[in-house]
Structure 1
Amino acid sequence: MSAQPATGAPASSRFYALASRVEAATTAAELGFTACNETRLLVDYRQAALVVLPAARPPRLAAHSGLADVDPNTPYALWLSGVAKALAPRCTGLPANARVLPLSADMLDDDLARGWSEWFPTHVWVLPLLGPDQSVGALLFLGRDTPWPSTLSPDSDEFALLHMAGLYGYAWWSLVARPTLVQRWWRAATRGKRWRYIVGALLLALLMPVREYTLVPAEIISLHSQVIASPREGVIKRMVVAPNASVKAGQILAELDDTTLRNKLAVAQAELATANVEMHQAAQQAIESQNAKADLGMAEGKLHEREVDVASLQREVEKLEIRATADGVFVYSDPDDWAGRPVQTGERIGLLADPHTLGVRAWAPVGEPTNLEGGAPMTVFLKVAPLSPIGARLDYAGYQPVESPTGVASYVLRGTVDGDASAARIGLQGTARVSGHWSVLGYLLLRRPIASVRAWGGV
C-alpha cells in the first residue's frame, strides 16, 4: 500500500522516517518499491517509475508505483526504457546541488514524444540515482499534474527529495552495482598510468623462459623381467607365492592340478612292474628252452616301452610345479583369480622382475603437444610419497597409440630411474612429469588454444 503524504509533520522528520525504510531494504526489489511508493512521505505525485541502467544491456523498468511486480516487456515499460536511454547522457552532467532533470516532450524524439500524452502526466521530474563513483545506476521518474517548483529553498520538501535521491543512489549502488574486492583492486591498479606498468609486467611474465612439460599417469616397473608361463595345459591348483613377493631361484611359484596326471603315472608304474615280471619269466624260460628266446626279445621291448612311458609321465609331473628361474619379485594379479582357472601351454601367468633395475612406464595422450624425445628428464611423483619425487630419464616413446589403463589413446613411454629409488617399489603408481624443449610462458599457456583454433579453422 502506498504511503500517504504527511504534510503536517516537519520535512526533517519525514525525511528520517523514509531514510529508515531505505536502510531496512535488503534487496533491489524492496528498495525499488520504497522509492516508487514511500517517497510520498516527502512530496506528492501521481505516478513514479524506477528504470535501471545496466552497463551492457538496455534500460529496464524495475519498479512502479502501485505495483508489487512489473513486466518489463509491456508497451509502457518499453517506451519508458527508450526514454531512459535517451535521457541517461544528460543526467551525468547535472550540478551537485540540484541533481534533477525537468522532463518535457520537446526533449524527446518524435517517436517517444508521441507517447507522452498516453503514458505520462504533464509535469515530470527525473532524478538520477548516483553511486559513490558518480555513475548513474537508475533513473527515478516522478510525474504529477501540478508544476514542480522552478527554484528550491533549503526548507522545501522538494529540496529534501534531492537529498533522498542521493540516499537512493547509494543504497542502489550497494545492493546492485557495488564492485567486488577484485574489481575495486583492478580499478585502483589501472587508475592513471599504473595500467602501463601492469601490462608491461604481464608481457615480461609471458616472455619468461620456461620448459615445456606434460603430466602423464605412470607406474614403477622392472627393466629386466621374465615371463612366467604355463609349461603345459592344465588347471591352476593354487598360487604358492603371494603377489609382489620376493622369490629365490628354484622356488615354487604355482602348482597345476595333478589328479589326472598322477593317476596316469600310477597306471604306468603298475604296467612297468608287470612288464618287469614278464621279463624275468621270459629270461628264465629262455634258459630252459630255445623256443622261448623269441618271447624274451618281445618282453624286453615291452619293458623298455613301459620305462619310457613312466619317465615321460614323471617329467610331466615335474612340470606341474612352476618354479622361478632366477631371483626376483613375482608380479601377478589376485591369487583368487587364478585358483581353478584353466590355462594353455605358454599362457602368461605373471612376471619375474628384477627389483634392482627399476624403470618407469607411462602413457602420454596423443593430444599432448610436448615433444617426447629420448633422454628427456622425467620426475615421478608417487601417490604413496608425493613429497619425495623420483628422478628418471626417458628412454623411448612408442610410435603407435595404444589404449591406456584409463581408456585414453596414448603413447607408451619407457624410462629409467636415475635418482634415489628407496621409496620406489614395483607396481607403485603416480604421475610423471616429462620435460620437453625450452620455450616462453606465453606459448606454454596458449599452445592448447592455438592448436584447437588451427584444428578447427585449418589455418
Structure 2
Amino acid sequence: MRVVPPTPEEPPQRPDAAELAGRQLFGLTTLLQLQKRARHTRTEQELGFLMVNDTFSLVRYRQALAWQRTERGDGAVLAVSGLSSVDADSPYARYACRLLAAHGDSAAIKELTTADLAPDLAEEWPEYLPAHGLWLPLTAPDERSLGGLLLAREEPWTDGERVLLENLGDAYAHAWGGLVRQQRRWHRDAARLKSLRTLGYVAAGLVALSLFPVRLSALAPAEVIPQAPTVVRAPFDGVVDKFLVTPNQPVTEDQPLFQLDPVRLQNRLDVAQATLEAAEAEYRQTAQQAVFDEKAKGQLVVLQGKRDQAMAEVTYVQDLLKRIVVHAPRAGLAVFTDVNDWIGRPVTQGERILMVAEPKDVELEIKLPVADAIAMDTGDPVSLFLNIDPQHPLDATVRLAAYQPEVGTDGVAAYRLKARFNDGQAPVRIGLQGTAKIYGQRTTLFYYLFRRPLAALRQRLGV
C-alpha cells in the first residue's frame, strides 16, 4: 500500500496568472501522458499498477486501490498503491471487497465518507482508509462495468480534481476494455489452434476408450429389511384400539404389542350370556314338566342342544376377549409404520399388523426396474449408498433374484432382488433406504454407455 507522507502546512499564497497557467499546463500534460501510458499497457495487472501508483502525479492522495468486477457479479482487488502484489485473504482486501460490493455499482464519480456507509463498514473505515474517499467507476464503451478506482486522503476533493479524474477514468476504462477484448480474442484463437490438432487425438482416444472393458451396472432403490422376521397378524376381525409399543421399539417375548377394540366382542358376549341364561331356564322348566309329561321329556334333547350351543358361544367369545391383546411371539424389534396409521383401522383375521425381527439379522431388498435390468446372477456384488451416509458404501452379495417382475405402488414394474451384507461391516438399522449399485457381466465401455439408446433404436426399427 503506497502511503504518501503529509507535507508541512504553509500559509496559503495566491498564485499569479502565469503560475496558474503553468499549473494548468502541467496538469494537462500529466493527464495526456497518463492516458498514453494507459493505452500502451499490455496486461490488466500492468494497468492496475499504473492506475494506483502513477495517478498520484495528477492528483494527490494517500491510498489507492483498483477494484475489478468479475463475471460472477462480485469483485476482487486488482492492485493497491505501494504493493507489487495483493493478498486476497488479507483483512484490507476483504474490507475493500465488502465496501465496493455495496458501493461499486455507482456509475458516476462520487465521494465516500463514513456518513455514506452502513454502520459495520463505517466502523472499520478509519482502520483501513483516510477520511475522504473518492470512487471513480470505470465503464467500457459497451456500457459494461469493469470495476473502478478508489482514492483516499485526509483532505476533501475539489471540483477540479473530479473533472481531471473523470477524463482520466475514460482513458483507463478504454484501455482496460481493450485489454479484456484482446485477452478474450487470444483465448479464442488459442482454442481454435488447439482444437484442430487435438481433434485427431480425441477421436483416437475415444475409439480406444470405447473398447475399454468395464462391468455392467445398474442403479435401483433399496431398503434394509429383516432377514427372518416373525409376522404378527390380527387374531380375528376387528378394529385396532391402541398400540402398547412404538415403532422400532425393542420388545421381549410375550410383551403386549397392541389391542383390538373390545366393544363389539363385549356386546356379543352379553348377548351370548343372555341367550345361555334363557336356554338354561327353558331347559330347567321343561325338565320339571318331563316328570309328568312325556311330550316334554322328548323336548329335553333339543333344549339341551340349544343350551350347549349357547354355552359354546359364550366360551368362544370369552376366548376371543382373552386374545384381544396381542403379545410378542419372540424378543426383537417391533417393526411397523406410524401408530396413527393403525388406530381405528378395521383389520381382518390374518392381516399383517407388524413384524418382530432381530435387529442384527438384516438383508438388503432391491427393486430393479425392468428398464434398467442387466444380465446378472446370484453371487454378483452390490454396493449400497445409504441416503444418510452416501460417502461410505456398504458391500453386499446377491443371494436371490426374482424371475418375474412385480408392479409396485409407484406403478413401476421391477425385479425383486435380495442381497446379504458382507462380513466385517458395521450393523445397519432396519428401515434405512438408499440406492444400490448392482454389478453384472463385463462388456465394452461403448455398450455400457449406449446400451439404452441401442435398445430403444432396435425397438423402434423392429430389428
Alignment TM-score, normalising by the size of structure 1: 0.53
Contact 1:366 1:401 in 2 (8 A): yes
Deviation at residue 450 of structure 1 after TM alignment: 2.9
Aligned to 1:309: 313
Name the amino acid aligned to 1:247.
V
Aligned to 1:258: 262
Alignment equivalent of 1:384, drawn from 375, 385, 388: 388
Alignment equivalent of 1:441, drawn from 441, 445, 456: 445
Alignment equivalent of 2:187, drawn from 174, 179, 185: 179
Aligned-partner Cα distance in 1 for 2:282–2:372: 78
Aligned to 1:69: none
Task: Give the secondary-structure state (helix, strand or coil) at the position aligned to 2:390.
Answer: coil
Deviation at residue 250 of structure 1 after TM alignment: 2.7
Aligned to 1:429: 433
Aligned to 2:102: none
Task: Give the secondary-structure state (helix, strand or coil) at the position aligned to 1:359.
Answer: strand
1:236 aligns with 2:244: no
The structure having more radius of gyration, on CA atoms, is 1
Name the amino acid aligned to 1:244.
N
Aligned-partner Cα distance in 1 for 2:302–2:413: 67
Q: Counterparts in 2 of 1:186-335, with a 5 A limit? A: 187-188=193-194, 200-266=204-270, 268-269=272-273, 304-335=308-339
Deviation at residue 247 of structure 1 after TM alignment: 2.8
1:394 aligns with 2:428: no
Contact 1:211 1:436 in 2 (8 A): yes
Task: Give the secondary-structure state (helix, strand or coil) at the position aligned to 1:262.
Answer: helix
Aligned-partner Cα distance in 2 for 1:274–1:365: 64
Contact 1:391 1:420 in 2 (8 A): no
Name the amino acid aligned to 2:187.
P
Assess, with a 3 A threshold, how the Cα gap between structure 1 residues 266 and 448 changes in structure 2: closer, same or farther.
closer
Unaligned runs of 5+ residues in structure 1 are: 1-12, 24-166
Contact 2:360 2:427 in 1 (8 A): no
Task: Give the secondary-structure state (helix, strand or coil) at the position aligned to 2:441.
Answer: strand
Name the amino acid aligned to 1:174.
Q
Deviation at residue 336 of structure 1 after TM alignment: 0.7
Task: Give the secondary-structure state (helix, strand or coil) at the position aligned to 2:257.
Answer: strand
Aligned-partner Cα distance in 1 for 2:315–2:282: 20
Assess, with a 3 A threshold, how the Cα gap between structure 1 residues 446 and 275 changes in structure 2: closer, same or farther.
closer
Assess, with a 3 A threshold, how the Cα gap between structure 1 residues 298 and 382 changes in structure 2: closer, same or farther.
same
Assess, with a 3 A threshold, how the Cα gap between structure 1 residues 172 and 325 changes in structure 2: closer, same or farther.
closer
Aligned to 1:450: 454
CA deviation vs aligned residue, 1:62-103 (integer Å, no higher than 9, x gap): xxxxxxxxxxxxxxxxxxxxxxxxxxxxxxxxxxxxxxxxxx
Aligned to 1:348: 352
Contact 1:249 1:325 in 2 (8 A): yes
Unaligned runs of 5+ residues in structure 2 are: 1-30, 42-174
Aligned-partner Cα distance in 1 for 2:301–2:435: 73
Aligned-partner Cα distance in 2 for 1:391–1:322: 38
1:411 aligns with 2:415: yes
Aligned to 2:342: 338
Deviation at residue 302 of structure 1 after TM alignment: 6.3
Alignment TM-score, normalising by the size of structure 2: 0.52
Contact 1:390 1:419 in 2 (8 A): no
CA deviation vs aligned residue, 1:203-222 (integer Å, no higher than 9, x gap): 44433322111111100112
CA deviation vs aligned residue, 1:158-191 (integer Å, no higher than 9, x gap): xxxxxxxxx9xx77963875536xx846844x67
Deviation at residue 428 of structure 1 after TM alignment: 0.8
Aligned-partner Cα distance in 2 for 1:450–1:299: 81
Deviation at residue 383 of structure 1 after TM alignment: 1.7
